Amino acid sequence: MPQPTPATAPFTVLAPGRVNLIGEHTDYNDGFVLPMAIEREVTIRVRPGRDRIALLSTDREPAPFALDLTQPISPLSCGPGTWSAYPAGVLAGFQQLGWEIPGFEADVSATLPAGGGLSSSAALEVATATLIETLCGRSLEPLEKALLCQTAEHAFPGVPCGIMDQTAVCCARAGHALLIDCRSLERRHVLLPAELSVLVINSGVKHSLADGAYARRRAQCAAAAAGLGLASLRDLPAEGATARLTNLPLPERARARHVVSENDRVLRFTEALAKRDWPTAGRLMAESHWSLSRDYEVSCPELDQIVQRALVLPGVYGCRMTGGGFGGCAVALVDAARAPEIGNLLHESYRQATGIAAEWFLTRAAAGPRVMVSGS
């Protein structure tokens, strides 16, 4: 197979967001998750440059951001709390691999809502990594690229995320969800039949994972595992867990109860999909949501409203919050034949309850990142 050559003409990189069907806050506990890539994405239009400067622009910021690629990039290279920390972290990761990155200009845009819980950050990271691969005429293995992007998010914006989002974006297959064992990093593509539609509803409440609440949940899980004498909460089976958890203090007990039950739900949900048992799959989604709301305490009143109102609509099999929480989006598994009607009904019901005209969209399971050359 011929090796790719470095790009010298303009090109465009597209990387999808993701929605997690089930398996929330289990990835950094070595557990199971079942995300899928969606048909909303980050787009980067790239023009190779003659010098070693990276010039990054976005329609959401008034001024471009420049990085000198002849110098080591560090978190100090970008402003604190800015969007530029995500691509800067990825560029730094490739520098540490010894790649010599050519200069370029990049215009970033997105159809993903920032702060919507649909992994706009992972999509930006993976798009940036794909941009660098294209410029350099080299490539990483998809999982290697996902791990580099995860490290970038830890080191630069300072979000101690698990591996789910970057893996889902890098390794997605059209028409399939992706079952990930976050301990072994084994992956299995899970078919989503055409009779199902995935409905995403934005609560209108913007979330942020960099404000400390996410890190506190992660620390509480680590404390719970240590209190049980385990390397990870993954090592506590669902059977008999209740008795062992009684010795933990709150809130560690509640956090661990969610993680253990959620791992079990992911595996049973995957089995239900294979059997086309939509009522069971839907019930597990609802159980997941209320566990996140009550035990993990990462939902909000608006997300709870969406779930409550969705579950009474004919044709809705299940609904739950998706993403890190504290706002963002909910995801519903619905009858494809009734999906547009369900979206409109839920939009109106939620608007009447909250006054928020929530954006919603239907999506199929999308593929991972792709590159288009100019004119194609």
Same domain, residue pair 201 and 272: yes
Q: What's the pLDDT score for residue 229?
A: 97
Q: Is pLDDT above 90 for 81? A: no
Q: What's the pLDDT score for residue 292?
A: 98
Same domain, residue pair 206 and 124: no
- Is 26 part of a structural domain of the chain? yes
Q: What's the pLDDT score for residue 211?
A: 65
The more confidently predicted of residues 30 and 206 is 30
Mean pLDDT of 288-302: 97
Check 27, 30, 165, 304 and give the catalytic one: 165
Q: What's the pLDDT score for residue 1?
A: 39
Select from 330, 328, 304, 361 the least CA-distant residue to 117.
328
pLDDT per residue over 359-368, tens digit each? 999 999 999 9
CB 367 within 8 A of CB 352: no
- Is 41 part of a structural domain of the chain? yes
> Using CA atoms, how far apart are residues 221 and 241, in angstroms rounded to an integer?
15
pLDDT per residue over 204-234, tens digit each? 998 666 568 888 999 999 999 999 999 999 9
- Is 6 part of a structural domain of the chain? no
Q: What Cα–Cα distance (Å) separates residue 296 from each residue in 208, 221, 262, 265, 342?
A: 16, 10, 11, 15, 28
Same domain, residue pair 236 and 216: yes
- Is 18 part of a structural domain of the chain? yes
Same domain, residue pair 24 and 161: yes
Buried b (16+ CB within 10 A) or exposed e, 241-272: beebbeebeebbbbbbbbbbbbbbbbbbbbeb
- Is 340 part of a structural domain of the chain? yes
Q: Is pLDDT above 60 for 95? A: yes
Burial class of residue 312 in the structure, from the number of CB atoms within 10 Å of its CB (0-12 exposed, 13-18 middle, 19+ buried): exposed
Other C-beta atoms lying within 10 Å of the C-beta of residue 38: 27
Residue with tokens 């999308």: 366
Same domain, residue pair 236 and 213: yes
Q: Is 295 a catalytic residue?
A: no
Same domain, residue pair 154 and 284: no
Range of the domain at 287: 192-363
pLDDT per residue over 129-142, tens digit each? 999 999 999 999 99
Task: Write down which residue in 155, 188, 221 finishes a domain.
Answer: 188
Provide the mean pLDDT of the chain. Answer: 93
pLDDT per residue over 32-78, tens digit each? 999 999 999 999 999 999 899 999 999 877 788 999 999 999 998 88
Task: Write down which residue in 188, 217, 251 finishes a domain.
Answer: 188
Same domain, residue pair 245 and 139: no
Mean pLDDT of 107-119: 86
Same domain, residue pair 126 and 261: no
155: domain CATH number is 3.30.230.10
Same domain, residue pair 173 and 199: no
- Is 368 part of a structural domain of the chain? no
- Is 47 part of a structural domain of the chain? yes
pLDDT per residue over 333-353, tens digit each? 999 999 999 999 999 999 999
Strands 176-181 and 53-58: unpaired
- Is 86 part of a structural domain of the chain? yes
Same domain, residue pair 262 and 305: yes
Same domain, residue pair 328 and 197: yes
Q: What's the pLDDT score for residue 6?
A: 82
Claim: this prediction has a pTM higher than 0.75: yes
Asked if omega into 113 is within 30° of 0 (cis), the reply is no
291: domain CATH number is 3.30.70.890
Task: Write down which residue in 140, 171, 188 finishes a domain.
Answer: 188
pLDDT per residue over 251-285, tens digit each? 999 999 999 999 999 999 999 999 999 999 999 99
Burial class of residue 195 in the structure, from the number of CB atoms within 10 Å of its CB (0-12 exposed, 13-18 middle, 19+ buried): exposed
Q: What's the pLDDT score for residue 116?
A: 77
> Where does the pLDDT of residue 96 fall: very low under 50, low under 70, confident under 90, or very high at 90 and above?
very high
Q: What's the pLDDT score for residue 208?
A: 64
Q: What Cα–Cα distance (Å) separates residue 13 from each residue in 10, 199, 336?
A: 10, 26, 30
Q: What Cα–Cα distance (Å) separates residue 155 from each residue in 51, 118, 150?
A: 27, 21, 9
Q: What's the pLDDT score for residue 376?
A: 44
Q: Is pLDDT above 80 for 28? A: yes
In the chain, the number of structural domains is: 2
pLDDT per residue over 307-327, tens digit each? 999 999 999 999 999 988 889
Same domain, residue pair 64 and 177: yes
